[in-house]
Amino acid sequence: MTVIDANRMHEIETRYPEYFHRSFRQRFGGLMILMATLLYGLYAVWFFDLPKLFAEAHWERVGIYLSQWVSYDVQPELRIQDDGSIEVRYPRFSPLGDNPHPDWLVNNPDGSISVSINGTSRSVTVSKSETIVTAHGVSVPVELSSGAPKVVGPVPGWMTVYDDNVLADLGFAGNVSISVDRVKIRKRFIGWANFIFDTQSSFFDKPVGEVVSLIVSGPRIKPDQSNLSLAFDDIWNNSEWQHGDVWTKLFQTIVMAFLGTLLGALTAFPLAFMAARNITPNRLLNQILKRFFDFLRSVDMLIWALFLTRAFGPGPLAGSGAVFLTETGTLGKLYSEGLENIDNKPREGIKSTGAETVLVHRYGIMPQIVPVIVSQTLYQWESNVRGATIIGAVGAGGIGLKLWEAMRTNANWENVAYMVILILIVVFLFDSASNALRHQLMGTKTH
């Protein structure tokens, strides 16, 4: 065991004072950061009133919207006539077409109608005087003979009685609204209805094998048009899903992002050379251009889109202009900072040979700055595909406007899901393509 005397200890303290005489910040800095973070968290909870926000939030809507993303419903209405007969009606533009005869709706010999909501576990039987709802292992009769529907026996928890109707909630499978003279049924199906052919198509409701046979070798449905061309027209012009319009708007979004980024890069590149202090030794010009870049960046792309839609009207031109202005500021700043951080020795070496300024820039600067330019430009291009979707919602064209229109109706959530999935696929493809191109140009390997 080594014993250190007082002189040796004093020598160590003198040599390494940072270990023996730590400042207040060094001793308590970590604790202060932790306490500040906790205090800020408490302040945020108070400022946003999070307990009240969570208590009053409509969490049930999350499940409703998500279910509508992946399913659709059919809404038959059973009307009880004065003579006791029951008439079945469907809403206009029903997913089943103009003359539906679904196998889950059965006309019984006694004149009643049975509707299967979810197999045999959830069903409804409607007669002129009574409706029987079967769910959760029990059958609940509802009398229709009096002035208001009346539940016979105890009312289960999944059934709500109002003054003039009874509502039976059958979960994801659907619901039943019972009045004295009519029974409205909402039956839910998994999937997207009529995604390929709508109800107006000649191929609607035909089996896949029959559709393929008609397209390949069947007789022409329309004498002046081949079945293949007719099928493509029916898909492209699908009135419910509007594939043609959605894909056209998606292409507009891609073009907006590409054109705006390209023009921004071409404009920012020469301006960056004039903004870099080590390239252009003019302090006034440097500061003017840098503040110009700051101004373009500080105004959000969404705000530029609002300005330009007022100037040029709604459409992709305003969207491309918004991307162009924002990217000129962003890329100009990135390019100029990259130029200011280059190694000046290659540049000075080429300059000492008497080469012209263009050659000095070409061989002394560009090999150093190209990786930065390529990397940042490709990243901004990829990011602008997402940004162009957002600015489309304010009238700048593209799929963003189409997405906003579908959301605003609060009824076409399956169309919203369709467009969101398309946007995700496009962003993923552009991300992969930009990464591959970046690695290819920079000579690095992808992992």
Residue 295: the pLDDT is: 93
Residue 432: the pLDDT is: 85
Q: Does 186 share its domain with 254?
A: no
More confident residue, 383 or 12: 383
pLDDT in tens, 208-264: 999 999 998 888 888 888 999 999 999 999 988 999 999 999 999 999 999 999 999
Q: Does 129 share its domain with 272?
A: no
Confidence class for position 323, pLDDT limits 50, 70, 90: very high
CB burial of 177-211 (b: ≥16 within 10 Å; e: otherwise) equals bbbbebbbbebbeeebbbebbbbebebbeeeeeeb
Question: Is pLDDT of 114 > 90?
Answer: yes
Residue 126 token pair? 């409607």
Confidence class for position 163, pLDDT limits 50, 70, 90: confident
Q: Does 259 share its domain with 136?
A: no
Q: Does 260 share its domain with 388?
A: yes
Asked if residue 362 lies in contact with residue 337, where contact means CB atoms within 8 angstroms, the answer is no
Which of 149, 171, 190 is the endpoint of a domain? 190
Average pLDDT over residues 295-305: 90
Average pLDDT over residues 416-437: 87
Long-range CB pairs of 158-166, under 8 A, 24+ apart, other chains included: 159/133, 166/142
Residue 21: the pLDDT is: 66
Q: Is 164 exposed, middle or buried, given 0-12, 13-18 or 19+ CB atoms closer than 10 A?
A: exposed
Question: Is pLDDT of 318 > 60?
Answer: yes
Indicate whether 360 belongs to any domain. Answer: yes
Question: Is pLDDT of 87 > 70?
Answer: yes
Secondary structure tally for the chain: helices H, strands E: 16, 13
Kindly report which listed range (44-48, 51-55, 364-368) carries the lowest average pLDDT score: 364-368
Indicate whether 236 belongs to any domain. Answer: no
Residue 9: the pLDDT is: 67
Q: Does 118 share its domain with 264?
A: no
Range of the structural domain that residue 167 is part of: 74-190
How far is Cα 279 from Cα 285, in angstroms, rounded to an integer? 12
| Neighbouring-strand partners of residue 12 | none
Q: Does 135 share its domain with 261?
A: no
Indicate whether 294 belongs to any domain. Answer: yes
Indicate whether 78 belongs to any domain. Answer: yes
Which of 175, 190, 205 is the endpoint of a domain? 190
Q: Does 128 share its domain with 260?
A: no
Asked if residue 183 lies in contact with residue 78, where contact means CB atoms within 8 angstroms, the answer is yes
Q: Does 297 share its domain with 390?
A: yes
Q: Does 162 share its domain with 248?
A: no
Q: Does 186 share its domain with 248?
A: no
Residue 418: the pLDDT is: 93
In the chain, the amino acid numbered 438 is R
How far is Cα 443 from Cα 98, in angstroms, rounded to an integer? 61
Distance of CA 412 to the CA centre of its chain: 14
Which of 190, 224, 254 is the endpoint of a domain? 190
Average pLDDT over residues 142-166: 89
Average pLDDT over residues 98-123: 88
Q: Does 275 share its domain with 414?
A: yes
Indicate whether 128 belongs to any domain. Answer: yes
Q: Does 170 share its domain with 261?
A: no
Asked if residue 403 lies in contact with residue 420, where contact means CB atoms within 8 angstroms, the answer is yes
Residue 232: the pLDDT is: 93
How many domains are there within the chain? Answer: 2
CA atoms within a 13 Å half-sphere pointing along the CA-CB vector of 412? 17
Q: Nearest-CA neighbor of 194 among 29, 418, 375?
A: 418
Question: Is pLDDT of 369 > 90?
Answer: no
Average pLDDT over residues 57-81: 86
Indicate whether 118 belongs to any domain. Answer: yes
Indicate whether 429 belongs to any domain. Answer: yes
How far is Cα 6 from Cα 299, in angstroms, rounded to an integer? 65
Indicate whether 358 belongs to any domain. Answer: yes
Average pLDDT over residues 5-33: 72
Q: Give whole-number Cα distances, 43 to 49, 56, 178, 281, 378, in Å.
A: 10, 20, 50, 48, 39
Most confident of 45-59, 340-354, 394-408: 45-59
What mean pLDDT, rounded, does the chain reach? 86
Kindly report which listed range (103-107, 275-279, 293-297) carries the lowest average pLDDT score: 275-279
Confidence class for position 381, pLDDT limits 50, 70, 90: confident
Question: Is pLDDT of 3 > 80?
Answer: no
Average pLDDT over residues 96-112: 88
Q: Which residues contact 277 (CB under 8 A, 6 or more apart)?
A: 283, 286, 340
How far is Cα 284 from Cα 296, in angstroms, rounded to an integer? 19
Kindly report which listed range (123-132, 290-299, 403-412) carries the lowest average pLDDT score: 403-412
| Neighbouring-strand partners of residue 189 | 72
Residue 113: the pLDDT is: 92
